[in-house]
Structures are given as structure tokens and as C-alpha cells.
Amino acid sequence: MDARVDYRAEIVPNNTLDPLSAEEVRTAVRVVREQGSIGAGARFVSVNLVEPDRRTANNNGFGAHRCALVIVLDVAARRVVEAVVSLPEERLSSLIERKGVQPGIIPEEFVLCEKAAKADPRWRAALERRGVTDFDNAIIDAWSAGAYGDDRFPTRRLARGLTWIRGSEADVGYGRPVEGVVTYVDLESMEVVEVIEDVKVPVPPLTGHYTAETVGPLRRDLKPLEIIQPEGPSFTVDGYLVRWQRWQFRVGFTSREGLVLHELGYEDRGRLRPILRRASLSEMQVPYGDPTLTHNKKNAFDVGEYGIGRMANSLTLGCDCLGTIHYFDAHVALMNGEAATIKNAICMHEEDYGTLWKHTDWRTEHSEVRRSRRLVISFFATVGNYDYGFFWYLYQTGEIQIEVKLTGCLSVGAFPPGEQPTHGALVAPQLYAPIHQHYFSFRLDLEVDGRGNSLYEVDTVADPLGPSNPYSASYRAQLTPLRTEAEAVRDSNAATGRCWLVVNPSRRNAVGQPPGYKIMPGADVVRPFAHPGASVLQRAAFIQHTLWASAYDPAERYVTGDYINQNPDPDGVDKWIKKGRSLENADIVLWYTVGAHHIPRPEDWPVMPVSYAGFMLKPSGFFEQNPAMDLPPPRAKTCCH
């Protein structure tokens, strides 16, 4: 396989964990239409695989029974329906109505929302009062309405429309916001229910246009950099099953979460040792700190309120991915029920990662060095103004790294000339970006070396003063068992080098200890600034702590529950842990919170350079020794070994 895009035929699913094919999406929609008594004009929110319960199912079988979960917004009947379709039988297995919930906003509703707002005379009048009459070049982004207790239309399906004025049809920038105008649109009837105004601030003068044709002279001194693998990559792909450098896993995808990794394990001495049964992004939450009307309800849940998978990009060779690439397509349902394929939604390739291990014997001057290589599995999604990349790295040493790459355009506001904002920073003349944060919750369904795991908190502590500490400088690692869900609500602590250790107490390694994996926090530790009782903490309790742990339950899929949109008190991890389930020798699910704190700066405009946030899973007693000792020396002729 070479570095060109491989436009192969669609993969035919043959495993219970393979994501749905386009044909399966079409089948599921057709069955629901024919057998589900769905009204005309119903909107299909999502169609995804029903994954088998890992406690009872054998997921290794081929041709096993496959089902799809179809979530439908039956607009005519004003109801939300969950339907399960047996795909091989083309039969409706179940259909239930979910009362009192709102599914996430569908991407097609963004377009309809903008159209409805721009046609409303109240919106036009609000812009005219600010000296804006160029309605054709206005754009309106549909933000989720949230749930704040002061909602005037609590039973409606709402979006908050925020307006920008572009310089022309070719303008793709976010540089000219209309401050002080918020347009509430009923997404079912597509009518404007309210236009709220406060301040009248001039529209900033610059567009924020950022294309290569508009930024000025481009650099001319950048030479080509090519990644070449003349013998092809070191991985093999069989459908959605991937093998690379003793790693084995299955690639999955859902329209809500995006990329999912299933059955991830490492082959050690002829045995495939499991580590993760399932791993994915569970939720995102982006709280803004600006109290003004336009920005104070910006608290988006980009997974549960929109569906990050549905907004995945089609990746481009040489731009998004470099080298010898294998792509996986994703198949989703459009709002009208048609199946759509996101071409090249998932990118997989190898990267050189510098020195893996090295030592030079100073007596003999003999040097041994091995280079590190990692496998990258990633996807990018665009959520309105922001772009997020989600990268999973597998290393030859058995390490697993999760990294989020944050880029795209800041969500900005207009500011009066000559003044300075208190809750943000000026990034261009009369243009400011509010202070905000990004939180990402990752769901890690663990199975370290087999079922039945236990969890420990690991801190490094100083020994007490006394004879056993003769120079007052000794210290050690201290392990604290976290035996219940309530005990396992934890925060990172850089002062003690805190990490967490998941072990299999039923096994022993070469030194008589249980094999395990450590969860190592990243460098950016973020805390929310909302006060207790704030709606954002009610809805996004997970952002208050770095780590949560729960006993496995197939119904507990998302850290903020199944339905977060406009939900003031969702059924999430903060509720589940009150069950008090044991985490000792149990099926453990970790919910790990990654945070990024963003005080904007002019260098983030008009498109923000990538910012990084993440964490790592690191083997700890899982292997007898460095598992990469058997790597061959580099082939380079100039390399000494």
C-alpha cells in the first residue's frame, strides 16, 4: 500500500462490534418507517450499532446478530422515540417513547435555524438598530440553549442563534460578530420565539478571513518534508481489525462519540493480554466565563448536544495526515433518514517518535539505540467555530496516549473602541474573545490482563523525620486502595506526582506483584470556576474532578447520561456512584477528565494554533521487562550499534 488514498469498497461488517455499514443504516431507517408508526416529517437523530453487553456476549464471533439503535424526533407527534432494529431479520425489536427529553441538535437543523432567524423581522430590526443592513452576508450559529432555571420556553426544542456579518460570500471568517443580539429559535416549528437585545456595539472592522489567498505574502523558504515507507506500513488491517507491533484492536465509530477503540490488547509471549474492552470520548463541555448577555449561556456539550461523530471531517492526505495512511470511512444517517458516508473519517498511520531507548557504555564506547515508532488513530471534528482532533497513540513499549488537539476559530464578541474587556482579551481591533475552558471526559472500560480489576491511588510522599530518614530527604510511593465508587472520585495533584493504578489482583507478574496499568495525568490541570449550585455543575458534574470510577453497567454509556440537551439535572456519573458499588476485583469503568484553560491572546486569531491536552496509560508491572527490547537496531548506515 502506498501513500495515496485507498478508495476501496465499503467494508462489510462481519463482527458484532463493527460499526454500521451504509446499507445497514438504510435498513434500520426503512424498518422504523415501515414498522414504527413514525409520522411524516420525522427527523432521524442518529442510527448506531447496539453493542453487545460484554458480560454476556462473545464478541469474537463472525456473522453474529447485529442490531441498530435508531433515535427519532417524531415532530408531528412531539415525541422522542428509541427503536431497536434487528438487522438480519429486518424487524423492529422494540420501540419506546422517551418522555421529557430532547435529543441533540441535528446538523441539518443548524441550516434551518439560520434560515428561520434571517427571515424574522425582529432579528432584522435588531441588526438595523446597530447599523447593519447587509442581511445576505449574515451568518447565524445555532448554540444549544442549555438549562438555567430562567427558561421562558421550557417545553420547546430551542437553539440560541448568534450572528456574524461576513464581508462577502467568499468570507469564511468569524471576525465581525453582532454583539448583544440573541435569537431563540424553536427547532421543531422553525419559528423565532424571541429576540433578546442589550448593548449596541459597532461591528468590528476586520473580517478575520484566513485563507491562503487573503493572509498576505506566503513564506517561500519552506522545503518539502516527505514521510516515505517504501515497503509499506508495519500494520495489517482486516476489515476493522488492526494488528501492529504486538497490538491488536478493533476500530469502531458512532455518530455521537466518533472514534471508538474495542478489544485493545497486547500480545506478550504468544498470549493476547487484554487492556481495554472499549475506549472513547464520552462528553465535551465548554464553559465560558463572560457574564454578558451574548456569552453567559455558552456552555456547550459538544458530544451529547450535537454529536461529535456526525461532525467528523473527511480527512485529506498531505494536509490532515502525512505518510502512508489507512483510512476508515464512517456511515451516518442524515436527518431525513438517508445514509451518508463521511469519507476518510478516521486516519491511521505510523510516526517516528525519536529515541525509544539508548545507552552508551563509557568504558567500551559501545552504543545501543532504538528508535520509537507509534501508531496514530485519529479523527477531526468541526463544531461551529472550533475544530477538535482526537488522537490515540499506541507505543511499542505498551503505552497508550490520548491527546486532544484544539484549533479553529475563537468564539468572539464585539467591543467598544478604546475599551479593554475584563472577561477576555482583545484579539483584533474592537474584537475580543471571552475567557473559557474545554473539558473532555473519556470513558475507559478496562480489562487489565483479564476481568476483575482493582483501583489504587498512587502518591509520592516524604518519609517522616527520624532515624529512618537520616538526611531528611527520603521519599516513597504510597498506594491507597479505592474500594468503592464514592472513594474513587479523585483529583490530580502535581505536588505528589499523583497517578492511579489499575491492577488484576488474580494474577502475578515476575516479581510477585499484580500486573497493572497506570493512568498518568497530563500537564494541564484545570478546575471549573463556577460556584456550587451553578447550572453548569448540575449538568456537567464530571468537570469537578479528574477521575471518576464506576462498576460496569451497559446502561451507563455517557458521563452526562443519554440526553443532556436542555436537561437541567441529567442522569450522569455523579448519580451512578451513589449506588455504592464495589471496585474491588470488579469490572471497572474509568471516566477521566481532561481540561484545557484558555485565556485568549492575539496570537490565537484568526485561527488558533493547535493547543494540546491529554493523558497516558502506562504499563506498571504488566510486562516482565521493557517490552521493546526485541526491536531491531536502526538500519541507517551512519548509526552506531
Q: Pick from 431, 379, 361, 395: which is nearest to 206 by CA?
A: 431
Residue with C-alpha cell 446538523? 107
Contacts of 617 (CB under 8 A, 6+ apart): 275, 399, 400, 401, 402, 444, 517, 518, 519, 520
Sheet order of strands, 79-86 included: 43-49, 67-74, 79-86, 91-97
Which grid coordinates are listed for 84?
431497536
Taking the alpha carbons of 295, 301, 305, 306 in that order, is the dihedral positive or negative?
positive
Q: Are 137 and 169 within 8 A, CB to CB? A: yes
Active site residue 288: no
Local structure of 27: helix, strand or coil: helix
Q: Residue 529's CB: how many other CB atoms inside 10 A? A: 12
CA distance 242 to 264: 10
Closest Cα to residue 439, out of 314, 262, 291, 615? Answer: 615
Q: Determine the Cα–Cα distance for residues 82 and 99; give it in Å rounded to an integer.
A: 11
User: Are 338 and 355 within 8 A, CB to CB?
Assistant: no
Cα 165 from Cα 138, distance rounded (Å): 4
Tell me how far apart the alpha carbons of residues 338 and 52 are, in angstroms, rounded to a whole number. 25
Judge residue 402's burial from the number of C-beta atoms within 10 Å of its C-beta, 0-12 exposed, 13-18 middle, 19 or more buried: buried
- Give CA separation, 237 vs 16, 249, 266, 318, 371, in Å: 17, 10, 16, 21, 24
* Helix orientation angle between 121-128 and 107-118, rounded to the nearest 10 degrees: 70
Closest CA to 61 of 12, 19, 17: 17
Question: Which residues is 439 bridged to in the sheet?
Answer: 285, 595
Quote the cell numbers at residue 482: 479505592
Q: Which of 184, 327, 386, 395 is catalytic?
A: 386
386 among known catalytic residues: yes
Q: Can you tell me which residue has the cell 491492577?
A: 503
DSSP states of 321-332 = B-SS-EEEEEEE
List the catalytic residue out of 18, 74, 290, 302: 302
Question: Exposed, middle or buried, 143 (CB in 10 Å: 0-12/13-18/19+)?
Answer: buried
3 state DSSP class of 541: helix
For residue 606, cis peptide bond before it (omega within 30 degrees of 0): yes
Q: Is 459 helix (H, G, I), strand (E, B) or coil?
A: strand
Alpha helices in 509-600 (DSSP H): 535-539, 573-576
Positions annotated as catalytic residues are 302, 386
